[in-house]
Amino acid sequence: MFDDPQSPAWTPLLNAAWKARDHAHAPYSHFLVGAALLTASGEVVAGCNVENAAYPLALCAERGALSAAVASGLRPGGLVAVVVVTDVEALTPPCGACRQALVEFAGTLPVLLANRRTRELHRLEDLLPHSFTSGHLR
């Protein structure tokens, strides 16, 4: 279902990500990002980037969506898919911090990158090979 970037299964996530992107707070970079996660319970949770005048305090769309999902009850193993949308030419993957945050909840997560013209499908384990997980803490 989520192995084809053109699959209609992605439509609710894309719609939620684009809607969230419209609410992004990016007065400094003007780089608006939306993300949407699908949980194992079927819930679609969206997030957008939130910048701050103290630049290090900015929050990426992916981690914003992840925080909202955790607040709704998400636990490790509970993510099914994620979409990241931007309105720029180059498709934009999650940053390293977002990749690490996502791997805590699903190491084999399909990640769809999209803009208004193009979609590209990746797997989180390919975007973050040799990730640090809870298994390293034992």
Residues in Cβ contact with 121 at an 8 Å cutoff, skipping those fewer than 6 apart:
2, 3, 4, 5, 110, 111, 112, 113
Active site residue 62: yes
d(CA 3, CA 49): 26
Active site residue: 43, 51, 62, 89, which one?
62
d(CA 55, CA 69): 24
User: For residue 117, what are its two tokens?
Assistant: 């013209």
From the list 48, 26, 53, the residue with the least C-alpha distance to 37 is 48
Helices 11-21, 61-71: inter-axial angle, 10-degree rounding = 110
Residues belonging to the active site: 62
